Structure formats: C-alpha cells, structure tokens
Amino acid sequence: MKDELPQLLPAHLGIIMDGNGRWAKRRGLPRSAGHAAGAANFKKITRYCSKIGIRYLTVYAFSTENWTRPAEEVSALMTLFRKYLEEALRDFRDDDIVVRFLGDTAAFPPELQTLIRETEEISAARTGMVLNIAMNYGGRAELVRAVRSIAERVRAGELAPDAITEETVSSALYTAGQPDPDLIIRPSGEHRTSNFLLWQSAYAEYVIMDVLWPDFGPDDLNAALREYANRSRRFGGV
C-alpha cells in the first residue's frame, strides 16, 4: 500500500523544514503566509510521528543564519513562534510529547524566552516522544559551544586533554543523552545539510524529497521511512 509503514523505523528522525517561502511565492502570497502554513504542517507531522512510534524528532525551525533575512520576515517569524508556543501550552497538554529547544535561545525576545522555558518545564515529566525544536541553531555554533565547554573543564583541571573522546564531545552538545539521528529528511529538493546536526549526522541516512514543506504529508513521510528501511547501513564497515 502507498501509505504502509515499514517495520524498521528510525529511533531519531531529523527534518529540515524547507520550502515555506517558495510555497507562498507560487501562490502569490507573502512569505509570512508560507511560514504560517509550514507551522500548521509542523503540528500535524509532529503528532503523526508521535503516533507511529518515533522516539526522537528534531526539526530545524530557525537557523543562526536566518537572522540575515529581511527584518519584516524575521519579525513575522518571531510572532509565529510565540503564537505556536502559546497554542502548544494550551492545546498540547494531552499530547505525551516532551519538548526541548536546541540553540541559543537567549537571542530571542524576553517574552519568547519565557514561553520556551514554560513549554520545556510543563512537558518535562512526559514519557512519550522527545521533540527537539532547533531555534537559533547552527551546527558549527553548537560545536564551538561544545569546544568552549570542554576547554573550560580542561582549564579547571577536571579533564585531561588526552582523555577527550567522541563521547566527551557528544555529551557537550545540545542533544546530549539522545541517540544520533538515523534519518534526516529534507523536503523542497535542496541537496545540502544547511548546518544542521553536523556532528550528530555523521552516519545519518538522508532522503531528499521534491515537495515543499507545507505540502509534506504523512504519505510523504511514510515514503521516506520506507526508503530508509531499505537502506543498508554499514557505519563505515563492509
């Protein structure tokens, strides 16, 4: 069947939510309309992932480079984020989803920072899927942050330089304690990582799909999951 799910699902799924602006342009709408449509789809796909048994879902919502977009678009995105979090606090109380934020959230307006903290605190005791929302996130910035943290430990005498391992680095990342992503999906047809989970995605499978994010539905996700299930993952071996 077209929408049939494979038995093998990724424990950790990453999605680069791309194509909102092009979706709006094709319809003669402002880019903000595309972001609003993308946010609505994000809710739908998040709930679907939770329903089918994905354990960890990481979505790329706002990168460190997105600040360079026109001020009007950035402002519209901040308003959209605030609206989403207010709705999440109200509407997602019955969803068994733990919400975490990856990135330097201190750069956001105080009201948005407060909503971020409240969302994390209210959902912390849940036991279902972990949803990571990457906001003001960049893979390089994350690695710089991790290196600085490790360097401080070395300077304090808590860690010897020759004792630094891959696990040391992983434990200093925003995703500490979580498995690395098994599959990363990029709708919109673009073939690049865009600074997303650079360390964690070393052996992730990528599926590029020629559908813009607001139009990306459960059938598209199922198709990507079936492709993932048919991949042979050797992790550098034979």
Active-site residue, selected from the candidate residues 3, 18, 162, 219 = 18
Tokens of 9: 């699902």
Inter-residue contact 54 to 10 (CB < 8 Å)? yes
The residues that bridge with 99 in the sheet, in sequence order, are 131
| CA separation for the pair 226, 4 (Å, rounded) | 8
Sorted by sequence, the CB contacts under 8 Å of residue 178 that are 6+ apart come out as 12, 56, 130, 132
| CA separation for the pair 62, 120 (Å, rounded) | 18
41 is catalytic: no
Active-site residue, selected from the candidate residues 66, 104, 195, 215 = 66
Sorted by sequence, the CB contacts under 8 Å of residue 78 that are 6+ apart come out as 108, 109, 112
The DSSP symbol for 94 reads: T
CB half-sphere exposure, 159, CA atoms < 13 A: 16
222 is catalytic: no
Active site residues: 18, 66
